[in-house]
Amino acid sequence: MTKPVAALFRDDFYLSTAEAVVTAVHEDGGIELDQTCFYATSGGQPGDTGFLERADGSRIVLGPTAHGPTKDIIIHRPLESGLLPSVGEKLVLHVDWPRRYRLMRMHTACHLLSVVCPFPITGAAVGEEESRVDFDMSETIDRDEVTARLMQLVDENHPVYVQWITDEELAANPGIVKSKNVRPPMGLGRVSLVCIGENSAIDSQPCGGTHVSETQEVGAIHISKIEKKGKENRRFRIKFGSPDPAP
Ligand SMILES: [Zn+2]
């Protein structure tokens, strides 16, 4: 049994490169490392892409990083076969930072949306260009008003930070979980709470994703669409930039 991978992204969301040693190479090309700054797909946030740099300078380009059968396993997946490192080989990891940073800005934007729309979340997907959050709600809500309130939270530049609590503390406080269907990242003995505002004044939410460190970094965003998905479900789409001017 090898040691579980050290998931460096959990303690430093801004770490884009690191050194690592190959601990396993699977038959299908999946690569395991002793430590990694590559975020693995979970909680609605896509896994990181980028490349592994070998001692001779050559690159192994990676598709989205994913978990193995358990959260202790992180699989780095080369886009091309035939360029596999060997176990014990030292590599330098390079996350595609512009892409990851957009995903971080978007993920924090999704949390801000859950502040503006305080309804149970039934689904979410963070994307580079567009994100969506589904709410269990029947109310009609004005798109431009939601955008204005989101941008107010962005402009107020609240700090965003992580607090760790134990699985038991979370189990004792079920009220802090906003997702109905998405289970909080439990099972590691501790759960990360993503907090927004001094003393979590704006929000705190169990989440294993990566976030910017203050809300101004989210930048200009807007609600591009609110769709009715059934009687009690509303799908909100968030995009970067200012809304298109009214026709
Ligand atoms: Zn989240």
CA of 43 to the centre of ligand 1 (A): 7
- Mean pLDDT in the chain? 92
Q: Examine the pLDDT at 243 and tell me if it is beyond 70.
A: yes
CA of 184 to the centre of ligand 1 (A): 9
CA of 83 to the centre of ligand 1 (A): 34
The label of the residue with tokens 């298109």 reads 244
CA of 86 to the centre of ligand 1 (A): 35
Which residues make Cβ contacts (< 8 Å) with residue 171, sequence separation at least 6?
none
The label of the residue with tokens 């992180």 reads 74
CA of 228 to the centre of ligand 1 (A): 23
pLDDT at 246: 64
Per-residue pLDDT averaged across 68-84, rounded? 90
Q: Examine the pLDDT at 1 and tell me if it is beyond 60.
A: no
Give the global pTM: 0.93
CA of 30 to the centre of ligand 1 (A): 26
Retrieve residue 36's tokens: 């990694």
CA of 69 to the centre of ligand 1 (A): 22
Which pLDDT band, with edges at 50, 70 and 90, does 236 fall under? very high
CA of 203 to the centre of ligand 1 (A): 11
pLDDT at 183: 62
Q: Examine the pLDDT at 98 and tell me if it is beyond 80.
A: yes
Which pLDDT band, with edges at 50, 70 and 90, does 184 fall under? low
pLDDT at 201: 94
Residue 103 backbone dihedrals phi, psi, to 5 degrees = -65, -35
Per-residue pLDDT averaged across 206-231, rounded? 95
Retrieve residue 230's tokens: 């059934």
Residues listed for the chain: 247
CA of 210 to the centre of ligand 1 (A): 8
Per-residue pLDDT averaged across 18-25, rounded? 97
CA of 205 to the centre of ligand 1 (A): 7
Q: Where are the alpha helices (DSSP H) in 43-158?
A: 97-116, 143-155
Which pLDDT band, with edges at 50, 70 and 90, does 2 fall under? low
Retrieve residue 22's tokens: 């190959």
Q: How far is CA 34 from CA 58, 88, 190, in A?
A: 20, 10, 21
Residues 162 and 195: beta-carbon distance below 8 Å: yes
Q: pLDDT tens digits for 123-152?
A: 999 999 999 999 999 888 999 999 999 999
Express as a percent the part of the chain with pLDDT over 90: 77
For 22-41, b where at least 16 C-beta lie within 10 A, e where not — what string?
Answer: beebeeebbbbbebbbbbbe
Per-residue pLDDT averaged across 172-194, rounded? 74
Residues 211 and 195: beta-carbon distance below 8 Å: no
CA of 104 to the centre of ligand 1 (A): 10
CA of 134 to the centre of ligand 1 (A): 13
